[in-house]
Amino acid sequence: MFANTYLLQTKQPNYDAKAILWPVNMWQVYTNKPQGRELNVFEKTILQLFNVTGKRSLKNEDVANWLGLETDMVSYIITAQLIPNGWLTEKGLVTSKGVELLNDEVNDSLTTAYIFQCAITGKWLPRLCYSLNEIYTSNDDTHRPKFKLKRASDSVTIPFVVTAHSAFNSAPSEHDLATIAAEFQDAVYIAKNTRNRDEWQKPPSSFDKLTRASQSATPVYLTVWGDTTTSFEWTLYDPFDISSSSTWMTTSFKQGCKENKALGNYALSQLGVSDKDLSYDQACLKFAEDAKLKVLVKYPRAGQINDLTNAIFQLFELQERLEQESYSRSAANTEFIIKGIKVVEVVCSYILERYPLDRPTSLPKPHTKNARALLKHMIVSATNMNNEMAEQVLALNASRVYAAAIGKNSSVRAQLAAIFISMETHPQHPLRFLLEQQTYFSNFYKITHLRDDCSHGSSINIAHQQIKTVISTIETFLNKLFNGIENNG
């Protein structure tokens, strides 16, 4: 076994998701967040020395000897930096401002976190973790560990254990740490703009840099969730629950299937592939072609838009399962709502790129006064929609529309708001049909809110009639979209 420590950093994302124990090397790091003026190492050390000695006299010569500096240098730091900035008095006493600065620096430098290196691929996970949720096996078999993940249930989870025969293990370089920090902060920013607050717990992401704290790595198994029920390939979820699905985990999974025969066979078996001569990559390519054909039969123009074929196929697969199960499972019903809006998000991203909004800088920013009123004026001026419809569009954070307009990840309602404003410069806009019937418009927006409710968990009850309404609404949306693109270019 690679390790006997098991981490579970996010709950099971849906009923069908399966647990995989993924081998990673865990390193402890410090985060550093400067508070205004940051002390350099000499200023900090000298100030700490004065703080420790208190009212006892401290000579510059003594400080210089202790630190291996010239006395003139110590005198300069004290008279040109510490005293003028109000951190030290002329009598050598640290001021309350100086104590506060030292406390801030100590607190910031001692904020610990953890980073992880995939033991199979050697790649660094673009995530930072501030606290560890360790889980413990309920049996003695280390090769097939079992876990009781829900206290109120007697059900036992038996994850697939990924072995690491020749594990990567290397200390992170400064470049690695900077890359991890940047990608983590980007992911938190995107999640903040696309996910509701009660969907996830926002981790602290405002820090200056990462510094390695531990001298060696700790091997651990990280619980990764994946399922095969809504696509032609495995869907892997973010094991830290910042994003929903995870492209970087999917990439590691595909490479892991190449490196690890047992994982590759497991991946294929869950997809229903019995041909042992077929690799996971080959099977996915075959399924992708089959999926594309299935979608293009109904929507011949779907291939024009990146990622739309796969998004529609996932909806098709879920719809077939729901019909077989007579819409009896609430978890599958909520997943269908989420996948339906995903189709709309993919379309909106394409539309905003193809029919961009003129002068997006005029949109409200986080600190813009009367942001909602300004946004409403822009939407009504561009579309002439009535007040009731405008109020439905404005059920969002007004400052997020700017991110949508410039192509950054954002919620579907922010995308739609940006699209409506862009109609002022695109009279033949292919989504103008959304404004033609108020009943359809209202149903469409109700589904976006229903999606928010569904993403909070599987406890919400979705009736069969609601699923039928979603199917009809999305079909109308796609058919009119493609007609609009064909007619308007």
User: Nearest-CA neighbor of 47 among 78, 10, 12, 7?
Assistant: 78
Helix, strand, coil abundance in the chain, percent, nearest 5? 50, 10, 40
Element (H, E) at 27: strand 18-32
Q: How far is the C-alpha of 117 from the C-alpha of 25, rounded, in Å?
A: 5
Q: Are strands 6-7 and 218-227 parallel, antiparallel or unpaired?
A: parallel
Residue 236: what are its φ and ψ, rounded to 5°? -105, 140
Q: How far is the C-alpha of 83 from the C-alpha of 61, rounded, in Å?
A: 18
Q: How far is the C-alpha of 126 from the C-alpha of 128, rounded, in Å?
A: 7
pLDDT of residue 271: 87
Alpha helical stretches, state H, 260-370: 261-270, 280-298, 308-324, 330-354
Residue 385 in 3-state DSSP?
Answer: coil
CA distances from 25 to 7, 149, 187, 236 (A): 12, 23, 21, 20
β-partners of residue 117 are: 25, 124
User: Nearest-CA neighbor of 394 among 420, 413, 368?
Assistant: 413
Q: Which residues contact 458 (CB under 8 A, 6 or more apart)?
A: 14, 15, 330, 331, 334
For residue 47, count CB atoms less than 10 angstroms from its CB and return exposed for 0-12, middle for 13-18, buried for 19 or more: buried
Looking at residue 198, the DSSP 8-state letter turns out to be G
CA-only gyration radius of the chain, Å:
28
Residues 405-462: tens digit of each pLDDT:
988 877 899 999 999 999 999 989 999 999 999 999 999 999 999 888 887 654 577 8
Note the pTM of the prediction, 2 decimals. Answer: 0.66
Question: What does the CA dihedral 216, 221, 226, 232 come to, rounded to 10 degrees?
Answer: 70
Q: What is the largest CA-CA distance in the chain?
A: 87
Q: Give the number of other Cβ atoms within 10 Å of residue 21's Cβ.
A: 23
- Which structure tokens are listed for 339? 């996948």
Sign of the torsion formed by the C-alpha atoms of 323, 327, 330 and 335? positive
Q: What angle do CA 262, 8, 174 make, to 5 degrees?
A: 85
- Cβ contact 299:312 at 8 Å: yes
For residue 281, count CB atoms less than 10 angstroms from its CB and return exposed for 0-12, middle for 13-18, buried for 19 or more: middle
Q: Which residues contact 241 (CB under 8 A, 6 or more apart)?
A: 9, 10, 11, 200, 201
Question: What does the CA dihedral 338, 339, 345, 347 come to, rounded to 10 degrees?
Answer: -150
pLDDT in tens, the chain (489 residues): 788 899 999 998 888 899 999 999 999 988 875 445 556 777 888 888 888 877 667 888 888 888 878 888 888 888 888 888 888 888 888 898 888 777 765 455 457 889 999 999 999 999 999 889 999 988 877 678 999 887 767 788 999 999 887 678 889 999 999 999 999 998 988 888 777 666 677 787 878 788 888 888 999 999 999 988 767 889 999 999 998 778 999 999 999 999 888 999 999 999 888 777 788 888 888 888 888 888 999 999 999 998 899 899 989 888 888 887 766 666 778 888 988 999 999 999 999 999 999 889 899 987 888 999 999 999 999 999 999 999 999 999 888 899 899 888 778 999 999 999 999 999 899 999 999 999 999 999 999 998 888 876 545 778 888 888 999 999 999 999 999 888 875
Q: Which residues contact 264 (CB under 8 A, 6 or more apart)?
A: 257, 258, 279, 280
Question: For the chain, give me the number of helices (H) and strands (E)?
Answer: 16, 8
